[in-house]
Structure 1
């Protein structure tokens, strides 16, 4: 039973970091108004936490491999909360960006270590479910941000709104310190400790995970702005819709995890989700082109589908890498995803400003399509680590 409490604590910690790592897009209108900057400039500011996270994921993963998960998460979460507090009080966009980037660096500890905890406490037949539950943290965190940050930003300013995720991160650090126990580790063998990167399989899994991050970041970053600017919704109403959709996205991650456990495959469901994400982005673009309600329906579909694959990619990565490389492999996988998360908001903001939404959405649709083509659906642990214990089957 304790492992489920540990999983719940890990989800809580991850969700609290996601409120600012991926939820600051809901403050874009307030940032633009307060700082008198363009959409591209505001998108660049909200990407700075991901920049900090990007630079430290692998290091945190290596620390978790060596020192354990609990101390890594507590240290990083405490730092993130403190630095977000600093970010709410500093003057100037440069110092704001620096503080947010350092907060993101602290939050990277959770991304690298909490997945490793799940892999250690749950068996192969439960990992899809457990990791799917763990991956609900992001949509739940983004949903919380969608509900709370727009009204806080509107009434008190976007800097004051940062105090909410700051406090949540500090509270989560305390919960982790009290509840989380590092999982037992198996006896070392040559197969388990040898590098899993001698073949291209894991590199392909990382690439697919990164490509599937494209529609996720476009949808999560620009959904509220699109509904307000193009569909003439009120910001609070748009935030409420997105929050509800995030709950559906969280449920989808759990369902997909159970699916992967039952079919004995993480990678084949991941490929099918990539196809669905491509379709959703194309329909969103078409709905925008013809100025139809279809755009809102497709936007909702994109928000749900684009987050469904994350647990599959993390589970496949950890199982293929093995217990003595899981922290570093998960850090590298998340690094690829967050390279995309860093580049996508300002890049697609530039495309939207230079052209229009439907053009940007069609360009984005190429990313999940490429991921579907590249996915190594037939990969097994034996392909990566001959003699490794766990097996990840691409097909029955």
Structure 2
């Protein structure tokens, strides 16, 4: 019996890497859409014949759809399970993208209205919001306490990695093949992720971290709903605030480098890809590092402080360049390079913390509440994805690019106090995680949280 239990535990430990792979693929598919489509901003503006203000509103619809749908999808995930929600979300998102390729892409005889484009992006956001919480819950369920930070950080690398794929692939498709190919490529990525979900995602019979010498651990949640917990909401607020500098870079870096820095499409695409790949590397490293040192909150506060410093420098450098080249035909090369370095460094700092933050959020909530807690965090994050693209054009029209980057720095400053560690007694009062083991095959009245 012991050998059989060890064999089952070994299979479960092996299968968790497949589940993690599905989580990465699913998140990368959707990230390529919500972060890759903004990388086509210059071509989107031209192909659909819209203004910069209309562009911001249209791109903001992607974030708005996710904001509206994340929490319902998360609650549904805790009720239905990871597999069904993930499959439903990927299939419906693919259908929306196919519809956009068929009827929402500009052609010689038809250019969809800004309202139709906004509705299509809203639908993609509403349906794709299912991916984040459901895949995160699956990864958390298959990971032990000492590896959750690494596992969630690897999953979170899917966001910058998928966005990097989108930044490199989608502008080229938009420029040379048209937006029907942009939407078709994204639909194909969703289809591949759905196939992997069918093959590998399931609820674990015995969680890898629940095996004991005497049996298994009862995984029943006694903590209060995360919707009723102040510490969870404070973490969500910090996530939302620190996402705004990240969104500012993802959404308008190509416009900034094109309009202000006079850089070409290759430079803009390379800068966005560098931000996303750098963030992916930092997320993996930070997940492992904070697992070993148990210092997630301190790391999050450090990321917030570094973001403030880098975006304040970017604002100052932008103001200096605008003053220096006033009336000149173009930006000096050294000025463009300096802005590029600060923009990439700031974007990485504002994107490197996601895996650590969402691991801490899920740990605060407890296993049975992971879907809801991650949905809350993602709702906060995508409030930033909704608001920032709409607000930035107004700041830009009123006071110019320096105010955009200074506002991003201010948002990083708001995130810093939100990541303070709560006192231990406060966590206990708020519904801390507790574990009670029970032998397999026996019933007990004790309840436990993992």
TM bucket (normalised to shorter chain) is over 0.9
Deviation track 1:242-276 (CA, whole Å, cap 9, x = no partner) reads 21332111000111111211111322211111001
- Counterpart position of 2:247: 217
Report the number of matched residues: 389
- Counterpart position of 2:55: 42
Paired with 2:138 and 2:407, the residues of 1 have a C-alpha distance of 37
Label 1:273 to 1:328 Cα distance change in 2 as closer, same or farther (>3 A): same
**Equivalent residue of 2:172, what SS?**
helix
**Equivalent residue of 2:40, what SS?**
helix
Alignment of 1:326 onto 2:407: no
- Counterpart position of 1:393: none
Paired with 1:139 and 1:81, the residues of 2 have a C-alpha distance of 20
Alignment of 1:131 onto 2:131: no
CA contact (8 A) 2:225 2:369 kept: yes
Label 1:204 to 1:379 Cα distance change in 2 as closer, same or farther (>3 A): farther
Paired with 1:190 and 1:297, the residues of 2 have a C-alpha distance of 47
Q: Unpaired runs of 5+ in structure 2?
A: 1-13, 105-111, 208-216, 322-334, 437-450
- Counterpart position of 2:397: 353
Label 1:39 to 1:129 Cα distance change in 2 as closer, same or farther (>3 A): same
Alignment of 1:371 onto 2:384: no
- Counterpart position of 1:174: 195
Q: Unpaired runs of 5+ in structure 1?
A: 391-396
- Counterpart position of 2:428: 382
RMSD: 1.8
**Equivalent residue of 1:55, what SS?**
helix
- Counterpart position of 1:187: 218
Paired with 1:66 and 1:257, the residues of 2 have a C-alpha distance of 28
Label 1:107 to 1:247 Cα distance change in 2 as closer, same or farther (>3 A): same
- Counterpart position of 1:394: none
CA contact (8 A) 1:320 1:384 kept: no
- Offset of 1:338 from its aligned partner? 0.7
CA contact (8 A) 1:30 1:158 kept: no
CA contact (8 A) 1:245 1:303 kept: yes
- Counterparts of 1:1-396 in structure 2, within 5 Å, are 1-88=14-101, 89-90=103-104, 91-184=112-205, 187-189=218-220, 191-192=222-223, 194-291=224-321, 292=335, 293-380=337-424, 381-386=427-432, 388-389=434-435
**Equivalent residue of 2:218, what SS?**
coil
- Offset of 1:373 from its aligned partner? 2.1
Deviation track 1:25-50 (CA, whole Å, cap 9, x = no partner) reads 11111121122221121121122122
Paired with 2:221 and 2:83, the residues of 1 have a C-alpha distance of 26
CA contact (8 A) 1:84 1:166 kept: yes
CA contact (8 A) 2:234 2:418 kept: yes
Paired with 1:87 and 1:15, the residues of 2 have a C-alpha distance of 19
Paired with 2:345 and 2:429, the residues of 1 have a C-alpha distance of 35
Label 1:190 to 1:312 Cα distance change in 2 as closer, same or farther (>3 A): closer
TM-score normalized by the length of structure 1: 0.93
